């Protein structure tokens, strides 16, 4: 189903208002352009038929004018010859021709008026079509820009998330290594009383080192806020 029902709808249309209501402006502007181009072809085809009809009517009118003049000449000839009966017959025939000629000339005037209106409509339609094509370029450019910006921001966001996870994994590996050192003290040996005290002292030192490492690495992995 078309957006416009007739030529006057296109000529009087507000493209901006139509696009403002559209969920998919790019699709709608293309439909508008297609319908305008189809209508332009139809109007021009109709104009071609009207021009052909006008030319044919003008030829018929010229024939009737010659026929009118010929009956006038015959009527005059009959009068000069004293044949009033023939003169009346000629004038009667001339009257019928004149009536046909007047009707045909009125028809020609109507065709000319229709062509003038079509010419005006074609001019307006071409203006609307040019405006629609400009709007299409603008809409396509805006949507392309918006998609590129979204793609770029999505990519940057993904990189930040990936980087953050990598930093956290690095921290976890470092913590695992430190905790492994602590557990290594107990491997393959029984603890004496001295070992217990030494272990506590060593564990205190490791805890301090662990705390310092967490603070240092924790500050370095804070994500940088995204710039708008």
Q: pLDDT of the chain along its 228 residues, tens only?
A: 455 555 666 656 666 666 666 666 677 778 888 888 888 888 888 889 999 999 999 999 999 999 999 999 999 999 999 999 999 999 999 999 999 999 999 999 999 999 998 888 888 888 888 888 887 777 766 666 656 565 655 555 455 555 655 665 665 665 666 556 556 555 555 556 666 666 666 666 667 777 777 777 765 545 455 544
* Distance from chain centroid for Cα 205: 70
For position 228, what pLDDT does the model report? Answer: 47
For position 138, what pLDDT does the model report? Answer: 73
| Residue located via tokens 């009959």 | 78
Task: Tell me the domain boundaries of the chain.
Answer: 7-147, 158-220
**Under 8 Å between Cβ of 92 and 74:** no
pLDDT tens digits for range 17-74: 666 666 666 777 788 888 888 888 888 888 899 999 999 999 999 999 999 999 999 9
pTM, full prediction: 0.52
Question: Burial of 86 by CB count in 10 Å (0-12 exposed, 13-18 middle, 19+ buried)?
Answer: middle
What is the DSSP secondary structure assignment for residue 138, as one 8-state letter? H
Q: Which of 46, 45, 43 has the alpha carbon at shortest distance from 121?
A: 43
For position 77, what pLDDT does the model report? Answer: 93
For position 181, what pLDDT does the model report? Answer: 58
């Amino acid at each position: 189903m078309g957006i416009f029902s007739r030529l006057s709808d296109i000529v009087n249309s507000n493209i901006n208002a139509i696009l403002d209501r559209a969920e998919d402006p790019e699709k709608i502007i293309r439909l508008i352009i297609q319908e305008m181009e189809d209508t332009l072809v139809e109007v021009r085809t109709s104009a071609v038929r009207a021009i052909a009809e006008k030319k044919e009517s003008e030829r018929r009118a010229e024939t009737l004018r010659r026929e009118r003049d010929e009956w006038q000449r015959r009527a005059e000839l009959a009068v000069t010859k004293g044949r009033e009966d023939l003169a009346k017959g000629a004038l009667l025939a001339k009257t019928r021709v004149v009536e046909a000629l007047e009707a045909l000339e009125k028809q020609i005037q109507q065709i000319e008026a229709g062509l003038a209106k079509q010419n005006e409509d074609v001019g307006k339609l071409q203006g609307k079509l040019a405006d629609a094509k400009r709007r299409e370029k603008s809409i396509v450019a805006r949507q392309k820009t918006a998609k590129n910006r979204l793609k770029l921001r999505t990519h940057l966001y993904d990189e930040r998330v990936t980087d953050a996870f990598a930093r956290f994994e690095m921290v976890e590996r470092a913590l695992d290594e430190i905790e492994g050192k602590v557990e290594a003290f107990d491997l393959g040996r029984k603890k004496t009383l001295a070992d217990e005290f030494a272990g506590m002292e060593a564990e205190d030192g490791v805890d301090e080192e662990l705390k310092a490492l967490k603070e240092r690495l924790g500050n370095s992995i804070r994500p940088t806020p995204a710039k708008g």
